[in-house]
């Protein structure tokens, strides 16, 4: 059963209280691994810097939330820059140093399965964050990926209106080595298949914006600008690359384009009408749940006290926190992103988009 954000927050608050009431170990930075330091160390491994959220949102929130739950905990951070081998080396390094838990956003879930297994063999719990990693993970925190795709697909049909039945779209999917991308695509197709013609479909390696730009240019050359009625873009980066290609090819008016992650520039594109929608996945509840699970795992506590749900992976049932994504269009920016404090009106409505903000009622 899917847990609503408020349910997850309640569970996280409960376990957070329990964790904070327990000491996390003495902090002695001068002790090395052989010196018997009692400090608790949690590794945080991010997949890339291509998607803005990892360094600008998740990392900062996770580090803060971990510290709030365990003042003496140390967080060691690594970013694989999209390279599987780099992330495998980072995992090996953390295992060798004997960290107490690892929060992992896998570059490639299958390729990292062996590293997850090594960590488990060394007694180090791995929390899969946002992406479901393969191997013996101890816990999982994310959003309902198929629902993300369904929200995007429904929004695209709504944007195309009564002409949707006769419409042709381009699908700009994510990197299918990311299980989330598979879920997004599955959810979107469950809504779009049989409703529209999919003229071209691309799976975008490493979620690269420039690859989306190249693929959209190819779709335009093949289909013709007048034949593209909508663009399913799996996230805001792919939306940005697709929109840039459409503009470079003088497509006007732009077809509706979906997105995900509610990046600030994407929100501004929605205000100006360049992008139709995005999917908001509140980072704070996700990071709060991830931090609570990581601290509990590092201390050897039962993760069922944190988890509000479970997932099955590799034939095992794993404690999980599954949060609910939220669609955002120009009409709902104020009631979602601004209301939640994700952005202020001032951050969104810079001089370049102020006139557009007035038109949609943001100023």
Q: Can you tell me which residue has the tokens 């101890």? A: 138
Q: Say how far apart CA 39 and CA 24 lie, in whole Å.
A: 7
Q: What pLDDT, on a 0 to 100 scale, did the predictor assign at position 37?
A: 54
How much is the pLDDT for 10?
43
Q: Which of 181, 191, 194, 202 has the alpha carbon at shortest distance from 159?
A: 191
- Mean of pLDDT over the chain: 90
State the Cα–Cα distance between residues 138 and 294, nearest whole angstrom: 10
Show Cβ contacts of residue 30 under 8 Å, excluding neighbours closer than 6 positions.
none
Give just the sign of the alpha carbon dihedral 100, 206, 201, 168. Answer: positive
H/E element, 290: helix 283-298
Q: Is the entire prediction scored with pTM above 0.85? A: no
Tallying the residues shown for the chain, one arrives at 363
Contact 281, 262 (CB under 8 A): yes
Phi (first) and psi of residue 44, to 5 degrees: -130, 110
Which string of b and e fits 255-287 if b means at least 16 CB within 10 Å? bbbbbbbbbbebbbbbbeebbbbbbbbbbbbbb
CB distance 209 to 50 below 8 Å: yes
For residue 314, what pLDDT is reported? 85
Residue 7, pLDDT score:
44
Rounded CA separation 258/260 (Å): 7
Neighbour tally for 349: CB within 10 Å: 20
Alpha-carbon span 127 to 115, nearest angstrom? 13
Cα 328 to Cα 360: distance, rounded to the nearest angstrom: 13
Here the tokens at position 150 are: 């369904």
Q: Which residues pair with residue 172 across a beta bridge?
A: 202, 233
> What CA–CA distance (Å, rounded) separates 61 from 290?
10
Q: Which residues of the chain have pLDDT under 50?
A: 1-36
């Amino acid at each position: 059963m899917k847990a609503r954000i408020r349910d997850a927050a309640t569970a996280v608050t409960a376990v957070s209280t329990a964790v904070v009431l327990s000491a996390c170990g003495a902090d002695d930075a001068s002790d090395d691994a052989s010196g018997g330091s009692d400090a608790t160390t949690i590794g945080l491994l991010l997949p890339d810097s291509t998607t803005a959220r990892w360094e600008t949102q998740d990392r900062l929130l996770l580090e803060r939330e971990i510290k709030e739950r365990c003042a003496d905990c140390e967080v060691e951070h690594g970013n694989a820059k999209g390279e599987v081998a780099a992330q495998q080396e980072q995992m090996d390094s953390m295992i060798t140093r004997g960290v107490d838990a690892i929060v992992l956003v896998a570059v490639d879930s299958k390729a990292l399965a062996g590293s997850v297994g090594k960590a488990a063999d060394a007694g180090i719990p791995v929390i899969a964050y946002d992406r479901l990693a393969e191997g013996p993970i101890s816990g999982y925190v994310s959003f309902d990926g198929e629902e993300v795709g369904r929200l995007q697909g429904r929004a695209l049909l709504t944007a195309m209106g009564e002409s949707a039945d006769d419409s042709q779209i381009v699908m700009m999917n994510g990197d299918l080595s990311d299980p989330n991308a598979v879920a997004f695509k599955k959810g979107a197709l469950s809504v779009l298949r049989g409703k529209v013609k999919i003229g071209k479909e691309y799976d975008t390696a490493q979620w690269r914006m420039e690859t989306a730009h190249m693929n959209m240019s190819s779709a335009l050359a093949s289909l013709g600008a007048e034949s593209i009625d909508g663009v399913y873009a799996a996230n805001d980066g792919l939306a940005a690359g697709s929109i840039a290609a459409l503009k470079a090819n003088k497509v006007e008016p732009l077809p509706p384009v979906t997105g995900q992650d509610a990046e600030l520039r994407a929100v501004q594109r929605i205000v100006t009408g360049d992008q139709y929608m995005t999917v908001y996945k509140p980072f704070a509840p996700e990071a709060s749940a991830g931090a609570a699970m990581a601290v509990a795992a590092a201390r050897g506590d039962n993760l069922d006290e944190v988890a509000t749900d479970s997932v099955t992976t590799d034939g095992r049932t794993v404690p999980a926190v599954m949060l609910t994504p939220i669609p955002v269009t120009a009409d709902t920016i104020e009631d979602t992103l601004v209301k939640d404090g994700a952005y202020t009106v001032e951050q969104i409505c810079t001089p370049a988009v102020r006139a557009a903000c007035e038109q949609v009622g943001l100023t």
